[in-house]
Chain A
Amino acid sequence: MHIERRKALKAGAGMGFFSLLVAAGFVQPGVAWAEAYNEGAFKTKTLDETLKALGGTAAQASTDIVITAPDIAENGAVVPVTLVSRIPNTEQIALLVEKNPNMLAGAFYFLDGSMPEVNTRVKMGETSDIIAVVKADGKFYTARKEVKVTLGGCGG
């Protein structure tokens, strides 16, 4: 379909940007990113699909993942979320909002020198669980926390 084609072109453009960065010396070659932009993962609608798109099959519940988010968010357009993983060798933390039209909000990859800890702000369409999916040593772990939203942040 045309839309798919356009996306493919965009993905191509993104790669171009990366080589530009390499050329400009912003990013040194030799340290290649393991992951390219995973368009498909952002289209998934269920937890299983999202896990699969991230390269996992089953995720084990873990108490070593700390999700900090408000219990009640007045404005669903800006919900602050902090994710911390205490699991050794954490490579990746994905941030999911269970009841958003597409679950995956963002995925964070940690290389040398960065700690498995990230703080950002997400949009939430309605009251939902926030799910963290951590990849460490090739295994997947998960934790969740509910955030009640009084005013949704996804529609107009």
Chain B
Amino acid sequence: MGSPMRIRAQMKGDVAEVKVLMNHEMETGQRKDASGKVIPAHHITEVTAALNGKPTMKAMWGPAISKNPFLAFKLSGAKQGDKVSISWVDNKGDTRSDEAVIS
């Protein structure tokens, strides 16, 4: 199980702004350690966002997304008190899901 995400979801006018900060190494698989061995890639591959349990956005990522990824997106048709849940899975099968209530 990965480390917790920080999710902030706020209404800005009639649009909900969701900001997510994930905790992940996002190792590219291109770097080498001190002994010259390639550090194997370890990165998030898929992120899914759901509004009140219904999928609304999905992302597929390669290793070029920065370490401890930040993701912000907007939802129309959301309102205060709605639940936003975010899940990710990485290339080693590790997963994490967290949720936040829109304020």
A interface residues with partner B (beta carbon < 8 Å): 10, 13-14, 16-17, 20-21, 25-28, 31, 33, 35, 37-38, 41-42, 77-80, 97, 100-102, 104-115, 117-124, 153-156
| Per-position 1/0 for B18-50, Cβ under 8 A of A | 000000001010111100000100000110111
Q: How far is the CA of A26 from the CA of B51 in the complex (A)?
A: 10
Q: How far is the CA of A146 from the CA of B63 in the complex (A)?
A: 20
Residues of A within 8 A of B69 (CB): 120-121
Interface residue tally on B, bucketed by range = 35 or more
- Count: A-B pairs, CB below 8 Å: 148
Chain B contacts for A106, CB-based, 8 A: 59-62, 64-65
Per-position 1/0 for B58-89, Cβ under 8 A of A = 11111111110111111111100000010101
B53 within 8 Å of A by Cβ?
yes
Report the separation of the CA atoms of residues A111 and B33 in the bound assembly, to the nearest whole angstrom. 41
Tell whether A37 pairs with B45 under 8 Å between CB atoms, given A10-B91, A100-B64, A120-B70. Answer: yes
Chain A nearest Cβ from B46, distance in angstroms: 6
Per the bound structure, the CA–CA distance linking A2 and B63 in Å amounts to: 21
Residue of B nearest to A9 (CB): B93
Given contacts A25-B53, A102-B62, A155-B30, contact A14 B93 (CB under 8 A): yes
Please, could you name 21 A-B residue pairs with CB atoms under 8 Å apart, sorted by A?
A: A17-B95, A20-B95, A28-B54, A31-B55, A35-B58, A78-B67, A104-B64, A106-B64, A108-B58, A111-B55, A111-B57, A113-B51, A113-B77, A114-B75, A115-B74, A118-B73, A119-B73, A120-B65, A120-B70, A153-B66, A154-B28
